[in-house]
Structure 1
Amino acid sequence: MITVLRMLNRGRSGAERVRARLVAAGAALATFLVCTAVSLADYQDEGGSLTGLGLALLAVPVAGLVHQANRLASATRERRLAALRLAGATPGDVRWLGALEGGALALGGSLGGGVLYVLTHLSGPLPQVPLVMAVVTLGGVLSGARAGRHVVASPLGVTRRARVRGPRVRDLLLVAAGLGLFVLGVVVKGRFPLVGKYGSAVAVAAGLVLLLFGVTLAATWLIRAYARRAGRRARTAEALLAARLVEADPRAWARALSVVSLTVFFGAGIGAQQAAVGYLQAHTLMDVALLVALVTSAVALVVHQAEELIDLRRSFAALAASGVPERSLGRVLVRQAVMAGLPVCVVAALSGVAVVVVSLLDVYRVEWLGWAVARATAMAGIGVLAAALVALAARPLLRGALRFETRT
């Protein structure tokens, strides 16, 4: 299978090579962030712990970007996958190939991230590097395998399997579990049996991860409701089409915007904490990390836009052939991004402030809420603006999809 993978990689297109570099770069960044977070977690001061926890959780949007890129890759390598099926490969073989490809790219990227960490932290702890590299590589394997589930490869070509999922009760359970773990870690603090302060840190970190995923996925309910309301009040064909497209698959938008929502969450949370405590150096480092996360968010949204255009290119081509201007279709993309991004970013900003206020409830003052609300509002606006700008930047992708569908 590895020999087959090497043979197929020789015939990759330029776009596929770009996506491969994107996966490897994401794996490298995730490895570097987590290794740095582990080293900072050993510091006794709260500033170091805050920065370490923030950097570790900022690896989550990078992992989301890697998975989005793997999903896109599985949908665009038609010729290679169809050739394998024509040669007698089973659908399981094709998915196994995707897992190997994702794992190989993650391994190469994690190796680069590990080397970068070692070179920049020669005096710091290094034992965590091999473990983090192994976890990132395993994540790449699982992502490559799971991404292949959405694609059906046959000797006649490749089609994407429509698996539209709406809101689910499980998303709300994730929110409840995350909130429970977070409150447990804050209340119990260093009184965990046997593990002490590390148990509290693990509970808080696990609770935040579950809470972030839960809030993002639970936003599917809000996205669908908001899209339905916008569709009922639409006064133009563009607004109606955008609302119906978002309403048809709100979970895909919630998944794609998870990277943006995480950035907004941390930005709002840091703002709420800045008003209460000092740690200027730690907060400055977190702000720099947020800028990196914002860039990662933009790239992930571009990947989502490309994936969506692959699914909708026939519908958009039919609209264009019937006389709908390309500019109108481009505005539909922007309306979709704003319509889906607004509720997600608002929920993320409110959640970020709420987490900090709850964790510092015994010392937090009412007068500090002014700065916290202002920062949360700004972060929500930045998130929605980023989604809209990415949709504007995706117009060349739309043009390319229309031309491709016209030629075929």
Structure 2
Amino acid sequence: MDSLDAPTVWTMVAAALVLLMTPGLAFFYGGMTRVKAALNMLMMSFVAIGIVGVVWVLWGQSIAAGDEFVPGLAGNPFSDLGSIDALARGDLLLVGFSATFAIIAVALISGAVADRARFGAWCLFVPLWVTLVYAPVAFMVWGTGGLMRDGVIGRRLGEAIDFAGGTVVHINAGVAALVLCLVLGARRGFGTDQNQRPHNLPLVMLGAGILWFGWFGFNAGAAADGAQAGLIWINTLVAPGAAMLSWLVVERFRDGHATTLGAASGVVAGLVAVTPACANITPAWAIVLGACAGVASAFAVGLKYRLGYDDSLDVVGVHLVSGIVGTVALGFIASPAIGRAGLFYGGGPGLLAAQVVTVLVTVVFGGLVTWAIAALVDRTIGFRVDERSEVQGIDLGEHAETAYSFASGTSGQFSVRG
């Protein structure tokens, strides 16, 4: 029996790191929501692992990376049905690695609809979104024949750069989150109820730490060699660090104090921004990019109150905004020593145009198809919980459980507050 080679071992480790990100996200989101919705947030992330894992092996991978089926848009869902052909080719491990990206992308969306989405409706939305939105966008950006790679747009503007999923994962999920916010509407008391604040900030910090840890596999999992892996590792360290610091500076001057929630959110914003760029920029530019992303997302999260959309846990402000920042920035700062040159290196407007068009295609395609899916789910089985469940708590209403038990007087009874 042949021994495992180093690239195979690293892919296995990286896939495990990325899979760990989804439980980390569950903690992050669970701490950010109210106490009476903490379990529901954990469940929405965990069930995504089960549903997406099965869907991806059966047909998701085929749509994302199979033979061209819809020109430029999607692979043949039956080409690797059940990944039998992938097993024969010996690249089944890559199916698992790509599945972890699809899983985290879906789980990210859940933060936008905290406290008010029916669990059954979420379980129906997940496979539809992975099949009709995530997998096609993955094909467009990464697949052979994909629109932005070597399809119509790629041939005219050159291949867009998205090394680890700035558009495929973060912009895609961010747009879907915005759509669901609009379809479901705001929580009762949105903008006025102080009880909608995070209930467990230590849990948020723990989740952010797990996310950062797993992100080294997320970004560096597809590294071609040791030199590229080293560059990605450093960029994945410094960009979120700079974003955290810039977010805290914004908070200090705007609000008078720096917060733990701001630190955790800043880290995630920096990680999102560096994801598409991690293999194509220098560490110095990674620091600048992270700092810019931290500022942009720190201001963006406040827009939901001005514009009136209830992005409960700031998925739009962090993932959509920082994803766009990181993707478009490549048109300026991509290093010619590592690939295509950005404008700051004399590379001309081609790369910038490719990056902008990729963002626009992802936003328009993802937004329209997500809206259709959400509307279908809402009109058939209903997407939002009833008023009673929302008021008493979605954990009780949807799962008949509570995250915590608090003593109430000396009667021996327990109740959940918040």
> TM-score, normalised to structure 1's length?
0.34
Which structure: greater helix fraction? 1
Bigger RCO of structures 1 and 2 (CA < 8 A, at least 6 apart): 2
> TM-score, normalised to structure 2's length?
0.33
